[in-house]
Structure 1
Amino acid sequence: MPQALQDAKQCVFAFYQALDRATVQDVPKVLETYCSADYQWRGCHPFNELEGQNAVSDQFWQPLKTSLKKLQRRQDVFMAGENSLASDGSAWVVSMGHLMGLFDNDWLGIAKTGRMAFLRYCEFTQVVEGKIAQSAMFMDIPGLMVQAGVNPFMPQTGAQLIQPGAMNHSGLMLDEQNAEESAKTLSVINQMITDLGNWDHDLSLEEELALSWHDDMIWWGPTGIGASYTIERYAKQHSGVFRSSFSERVFNGHVCKFAEGEFGGFFGWPNLSLKPSGGFMGLPASDKFFDMRVIDIYRRDGEKLAENWVFIDLLHFFHQQGIDILARNTYLSADTQRDQTKRT
């Protein structure tokens, strides 16, 4: 399997380089070269599931590259592994970082700025027989809205900022990693998931988190929630709030989960089904369950986890509850323009 993983990395890395170089018109040729004929793509709302190279090109990559000119991929994590949840032996590659470009044309109703813009992303990609068979790409679209001057959410509990990669800058794993270290990372992640699922034990939240996390952990959350530093602040600014906001929680499992070296992660479609008791991000209580799609990427330091980059498809989570976050581009932008007119 090690050589298969390295081959998968080379395939995906070449795909990314070709995408960066491609003009808008050349994007379909790039997908035809690197992706399978029945390529499947999962993305956050409003893209959701796209079938085939043409759909992915027409509905996602070409419009994005039209809006974010001179688009370049700035990776903080690049790793590969065999899906621990499947027995098909296929290789998966993860890329995480930002897509950076000049925001010269509107995208998804988000008004252009004419300035640099960063679209935070994480993508899981499966490679089968030298071709990209499927991808799951989550993006922090609300983060791009904030950069364009529109904040669609209530005041968040964590910090809003352009998020960096790992503190030790070790996330780009182009070379093969130590298999024992990879297994150790996956084991720590699995133990953390077990701890997380046991919400009825006698430990305090901070004590529970300390089983798997360093005290100076960093939780890099999505726009609308934000980032938190240390167990104490994470418990207050997100984890405790999250747990108290849902009366019932159902874990649906993950599609892919693996680790390489000190890094690992997973994604689900969806990971969780949640029944709101009210209050989470200003949402009301409900007697219905709503799905939450999540990507988590972790860095292990020694025996515990040190950093966690989290991508939640909040557009989809709100959409299920009748709230169109992207529609807020229109009236919030209008309010901003009126305020600017009053000041002048």
Structure 2
Amino acid sequence: MMAHDAGRTKRRMLEGLRALALAPVDAIDAAAGAIFAPDAGYLGAHPVNQLQGIAAIAAHVWRPLKQSFPDIERYDDIFMSGHWQGHDWISATGYYYGSFERDLFGIPAHQGWAYLRFGEFYRIVEGRIVDGYVIFDWIDLMRQAGVNPLPPARGIEGLCPGPSTRDGVMLATMPAGQSAASLACVERMIFEGMHGFDGVDHSTMNMDRYFTRNLMWYGPGGIGTTRSFDGFMRFHEIPWNEAFPDFRGGNHVARFGDGDYVCSTGWPSIRGTHSGKELFSVPATGKPITIRVMDWWRAQDGLLIENWIFIDIPELLMQLGYDLFARMRELGDRRRGRA
């Protein structure tokens, strides 16, 4: 149970985050100061990585975003709160929409409408954010700009829908029993299912016990979205398990339920060794790896029916000796040279 009124905190944070997106460039520090503690920590997906304090967050995240997307707006698909290991959290996923008018972290602006998928976890103390964990789907933005250097995704890439029930933005306090039951579904899947993998036989995880057959799995750029439990296993779970056969997940800094929804993140969440098959055409390196991951699930009748996932793939590939942003710039330079 949160240490304060969950509904009130959710409403205030949602209003503040939307106001931050709409703030003019010269008002970003003030808008951030309305919801972030002065010395807030911020852990972002590569190439942002680690920041400290409002000034750094404004300078290295929000000012570049506003300069690249002058008319940026925030659209939330899931907005939830919970309590984990003595701390209060807000978690959200959705999209920033806007006109992509200026290059962003080297991703070339195409001067048209674009969307940037986000996943966020914020630790709250006395009504302000003291720690943030944020993944932006840079690979999908590269795809929209025509400079994604990765091989074609196994799934379908594009806009990921929000919950089919259209109830993911939860601004009220949800029943504690419902939230606990949803969380239990996810914890069984992780600690009974995923941790049951013997490194060879995928059936040892018995993952079909935890997901519906008509699962919708909304993956990040580079992997894509797939329909059905079989599609999830074929396009994501099996290839990643085969790349990292000794993986262990569940090392979370936050994991909680809110109504029918559950979320988790770890920084890193997964550890393993790239000792199996290739990943994104990168042959096995034998290197130990860590993976930053965020998940949101919707539970229904004791099973998981929808799953939104973010993976900091650029940071993972850096560990394998593949600089995605450098390859993107090379691809962009070659294409401009042919123009």
- TM-score normalized by structure 2? 0.94
Counterpart in 1 of 2:25? 24
CA distance in 1, matches of 2:48, 2:284: 27
Find out whether 1:95 has 2:92 as its counterpart.
yes
Q: How does 1:3-42 map to 2 (within 5 A)?
A: 3-42=4-43
Counterpart in 1 of 2:104? 107
Using a 3 Å threshold, how does the CA distance of structure 1 residues 160 and 50 change in structure 2: closer, same or farther?
A: same
One-letter code aligned to 1:299: R
Aligned Cα RMSD in Å?
1.9
String of CA shifts for 1:288-333, please: whole Å, max 9, x gaps. 2011100011011111000111100001001122221112232212
SS in 2 for 1:69: coil
Using a 3 Å threshold, how does the CA distance of structure 1 residues 318 and 203 change in structure 2: closer, same or farther?
A: closer
Find out whether 1:320 has 2:285 as its counterpart.
no
Is the 2:116–2:137 contact (alpha carbons within 8 Å) kept by the matching residues of 1? yes
Counterpart in 2 of 1:332? 331
One-letter code aligned to 2:22: R
Find out whether 1:209 has 2:207 as its counterpart.
yes
Is the 1:206–1:231 contact (alpha carbons within 8 Å) kept by the matching residues of 2? no
Is the 1:206–1:232 contact (alpha carbons within 8 Å) kept by the matching residues of 2? no
Find out whether 1:139 has 2:140 as its counterpart.
no
5+ residue gaps in structure 1? none
Deviation of the 1:338 alpha carbon: 4.9
Is the 1:75–1:98 contact (alpha carbons within 8 Å) kept by the matching residues of 2? yes
String of CA shifts for 1:263-292, please: whole Å, max 9, x gaps. 011000101122112312111212220111
Is the 2:43–2:50 contact (alpha carbons within 8 Å) kept by the matching residues of 1? yes
- The equivalent position to 2:114 in structure 1, one of 114, 117, 122, is 117
- The equivalent position to 1:174 in structure 2, one of 168, 171, 175, is 171
Q: How does 1:240-259 map to 2 (within 5 A)?
A: 240-251=238-249, 253-259=251-257
One-letter code aligned to 1:317: L
Counterpart in 2 of 1:191? 188
Find out whether 1:58 has 2:59 as its counterpart.
yes
Counterpart in 1 of 2:219? 221
Counterpart in 2 of 1:293? 292
SS in 2 for 1:295: strand
Is the 2:199–2:245 contact (alpha carbons within 8 Å) kept by the matching residues of 1? no
CA distance in 2, matches of 1:171, 1:249: 30
String of CA shifts for 1:64-107, please: whole Å, max 9, x gaps. 11001111101100111111xx1x2x321111100111101111
Counterpart in 1 of 2:81? 80
Is the 2:183–2:262 contact (alpha carbons within 8 Å) kept by the matching residues of 1? yes
One-letter code aligned to 2:68: S
Find out whether 1:67 has 2:68 as its counterpart.
yes
Using a 3 Å threshold, how does the CA distance of structure 1 residues 180 and 247 change in structure 2: closer, same or farther?
A: closer
SS in 2 for 1:12: helix
5+ residue gaps in structure 2? none
Is the 1:5–1:92 contact (alpha carbons within 8 Å) kept by the matching residues of 2? no
Q: How does 1:273-292 map to 2 (within 5 A)?
A: 273-276=271-274, 277-292=276-291
CA distance in 1, matches of 2:250, 2:93: 24
Is the 2:199–2:241 contact (alpha carbons within 8 Å) kept by the matching residues of 1? no
CA distance in 1, matches of 2:264, 2:328: 31
Deviation of the 1:30 alpha carbon: 1.4
String of CA shifts for 1:219-254, please: whole Å, max 9, x gaps. 111111111111112221111111111242244610
CA distance in 2, matches of 1:30, 1:121: 19
String of CA shifts for 1:13-36, please: whole Å, max 9, x gaps. 131132133101110111222211
Identity across matched positions, percent: 29
Is the 1:104–1:113 contact (alpha carbons within 8 Å) kept by the matching residues of 2? yes
Deviation of the 1:337 alpha carbon: 3.7
CA distance in 2, matches of 1:185, 1:156: 30
Is the 1:8–1:91 contact (alpha carbons within 8 Å) kept by the matching residues of 2? no
One-letter code aligned to 1:324: D
Is the 1:20–1:72 contact (alpha carbons within 8 Å) kept by the matching residues of 2? yes
Counterpart in 1 of 2:47? 46
Using a 3 Å threshold, how does the CA distance of structure 1 residues 275 and 204 change in structure 2: closer, same or farther?
A: closer
CA distance in 2, matches of 1:326, 1:65: 21
CA distance in 1, matches of 2:17, 2:36: 12
CA distance in 1, matches of 2:199, 2:141: 39
How many residues are aligned here? 336
Counterpart in 2 of 1:230? 228
More off after superposition, 3-12 vs 254-263: 3-12
Deviation of the 1:154 alpha carbon: 1.0
4+ runs deviating over 6 angstroms = none
Is the 1:278–1:286 contact (alpha carbons within 8 Å) kept by the matching residues of 2? no
